[in-house]
Amino acid sequence: MLDLKGKVAIVTGSATGIGRSIALALADHGCNIVINYTRSEDEARETLGEVERRGVEALLAQADVSVDDDCRRVVAAALERWQRVDVLVNNAGITTFVPFEKLDDLTEDVWDRIFAVNVKGAFLMARAAATALKTSGNGAIVNVSSIAGIHASGSSIPYAASKAALHNLTTSLARVLGPEVRVNAVAPGFVETRWLERGYGERLHAIRKLVKQKTPLGTTAGPEHVARAVVALVTGMDFVTGQIIAVDGGFLVGR
């Protein structure tokens, strides 16, 4: 198992939700953390405090991952502080909640912004960190995707399409960054987060009930379930690359 003590991980979109849980889980293993946020500075600072209480160091980095200069600045800040980057978790993502049948509600701006963050952002961060990750000697990238990219479901058509593209990007990066860097993705299903509460509103209860009925494990996930999968890919699966790991309680296989 890879020892993360003293290593450095950049976790994008880590002020809240799944990203926050990933940052804390990596910190629990002794990893120093770059906490990235776009707008949620207060919550990012709370996450910073939680990370530091675990006895490791942390750095705040405000950046929009869809902007190349911002991505390079985040990596440069990590290198200036610790002279290394060992892990990159591309967790930052956005969506617009639009029922699939409402095609006319999907403007070009919606498509462009979702792909800019969910796909281009992951590429830009990977490119910015590639040299440092290769130098690490045991670098790892984990992209946080969604079963929407497999199942063509979720919050909207462009969101699902962006996650399918992220799966393809994961495969491409695994090919070109190996053998020094392993690149994998986790694809969560329904995860209990504020994101879904805000997006689905009153429909959330019915959706949650349906998901539980169709999931072999009979329940929904919390952010910590996704975080554990990320840690497993980083620390234990040292001969795994280019893979998409569904973290969905078996929803995709159904029952």
Which residues belong to the active site?
159
User: Helix (H, G, I), strand (E, B), or coil: what is residue 3?
Assistant: coil
Distances from the Cα of 132 to the Cαs of 92, 96, 149, in angstroms? 20, 34, 29
Nearest to 68 by CA among 127, 10, 132, 110: 127
The structure tokens listed for 135 are 């130098």
At 61, give phi and psi (nearest 5°): -140, 105
State the Cα–Cα distance between residues 26 and 29, nearest whole angstrom: 5
Beta bridge partners of 62: 37
Distances from the Cα of 114 to the Cαs of 9, 26, 54, 144, in angstroms? 24, 27, 34, 14
Beta bridge partners of 226: none
Contact 220, 212 (CB under 8 A): yes
* Residue 191: DSSP 8-state: B
Strands 8-11 and 87-90, how do they pair? Answer: parallel
